[in-house]
Amino acid sequence: MLIVMKPDATPADVARVVRVIGTMGYEARPMPGRQRTTVGLVGNDGRVDSSQVAGLPGVAEVIHVSKPYKQVSREWQAEPTRVALPDGSTVGGREIVVMAGPCSVESEEQILLAARQVKAAGATVLRAGAYKPRSSPYSFQGMGAKGLQLLAQARAETGLLLVTEAMDTQGLETVAEVADIIQIGARSMQNYPLLKECGRLRKPILLKRGLSATIVELLLSAEYILSEGNPNVILCERGIRSFDTATRNLFDLAAIAVVHGLSHLPIIADPSHGTGHRDMVPAMARAAVAAGADGLLIEVHPNPERALSDGAQSMYPEDFVRMMREVVAIADVIGRSVATPVGSTV
């Protein structure tokens, strides 16, 4: 339930609405806007008698939200959320943010080289996993704390921001100390205790769509984060499971249009996992930007053949340079631009 206040409603009016909702056993959240304030009611409000609120002074309208999610919906907030990053760029506005790097941190040499390469090509965020969820217990599971340290070193050297994955509530704090954006992976999309912890942070959360999650389920998982108080959620389409083995996953680009219709949250695209083949990444990166993606997440490795994970879908640095040029041109055609590195004169 959303209570839209009149433009001339006073702070006292708003406070009264919040108080009345509290006496009804619900929590109210005032959201001041440019023109007017809206008060949202948190929690299952199926049985709320809205008439108690509708007649209060300053109330313009009571809107019942019809979706299973609320705070992530366009009904709750019409304007797109712009998630601010520490370098001054935002995800969800006019700019398209490109995050690139290897699947995993493998060594100091590897990650520093990768960081320099993706920065040179125009990316502003470095991606790489220190903790890796792997289907087999016998696969490389990431460098852990040492990997985080190397990422921090890469940031210090290049000025790139960092996005890296947290796999559980215990590791979340450690990752949050280093990461600029905390990634919640596809396998963790419905790890609700982890989502709730993310909601208690203020750092941006990159929430990847689960392997067989519907878009509504993705939004509901984001709702877990927002309902705990963290509005800085960036969604990510990375392909879903299907029957055709021609690609690693089925890259669902229509999800971008669907999310933009239902929600105010930004959504970026990961064509590396979306296709699983580096040869298809440039075409799908162009397509994602043309479809309206608010950013890209791309696997680039200095030496894909020797990657410890995801080698087949990691791009060669020189191909990434070419891809960035195409992406910049497509962005321009649709009235957007690719975010540029801090201090860049490009």
Contact between 191 and a second copy by CB under 8 A: the answer reads yes
**Taking CB under 8 A as the criterion, which residues in 98-137 touch a second copy?**
133-137
**Taking CB under 8 A as the criterion, which residues in 25-54 touch a second copy?**
42-44
Please tell me the distance from the alpha carbon of residue 83 to that of residue 89, in angstroms, as a whole number: 9
Contact between 298 and a second copy by CB under 8 A: the answer reads no
By C-alpha distance, which of 321, 229, 215, 319 is closest to 262?
215
Contact between 174 and a second copy by CB under 8 A: the answer reads no
Binding track, positions 193-232, relative to a second copy; x by CB under 8 A: xx----------------xx-xxxx--xx-xx--x-----
Minimum CB–partner distance for residue 344 and a second copy (Å): 22
Minimum CB–partner distance for residue 124 and a second copy (Å): 22
Contact 294, 234 (CB under 8 A): yes
Contact between 94 and a second copy by CB under 8 A: the answer reads no
Identify which range of 117-125, 143-151, 165-173, 307-315 contacts a second copy by CB under 8 A. 165-173
- Residue 123 tokens read as 């990316």
Identify which range of 12-20, 32-40, 91-99, 326-334 contacts a second copy by CB under 8 A. 326-334
By C-alpha distance, which of 8, 95, 104, 81 is closest to 265?
81
- Please identify which residue in 188, 230, 272, 314 interacts with a second copy, judged by CB under 8 A: 188
Contact 250, 286 (CB under 8 A): no
- Residue 107 tokens read as 């060594």
By C-alpha distance, which of 200, 198, 117, 105 is closest to 152?
105
Identify which range of 54-62, 106-114, 251-259, 312-320 contacts a second copy by CB under 8 A. 251-259
- Please identify which residue in 171, 303, 316, 321 interacts with a second copy, judged by CB under 8 A: 171
Identify which range of 85-93, 114-122, 176-184, 235-243 contacts a second copy by CB under 8 A. 235-243
The strand pair at 161-165 and 233-237 is best described as unpaired
User: What kind and span of H or E run contains 149?
Assistant: helix 145-158
Helix-helix angle 145-158:169-178, to 10 degrees: 20
Closest CB to a second copy among 44 and 51? 44
- Please identify which residue in 29, 145, 252, 319 interacts with a second copy, judged by CB under 8 A: 252
Minimum CB–partner distance for residue 43 and a second copy (Å): 6
Identify which range of 76-84, 112-120, 121-129, 281-289 contacts a second copy by CB under 8 A. 281-289
Closest CB to a second copy among 40 and 58? 40
Please tell me the distance from the alpha carbon of residue 240 to that of residue 252, in angstroms, as a whole number: 7
Please tell me the distance from the alpha carbon of residue 14 to that of residue 232, in angstroms, as a whole number: 25
Minimum CB–partner distance for residue 193 and a second copy (Å): 4
**Burial zone of 12 (CB within 10 Å; 0-12 exposed, 13-18 middle, 19+ buried):** exposed
Minimum CB–partner distance for residue 186 and a second copy (Å): 9
Contact between 320 and a second copy by CB under 8 A: the answer reads no
Q: Give every CB contact of residue 136 below 8 A, 6+ residues apart in sequence.
A: none
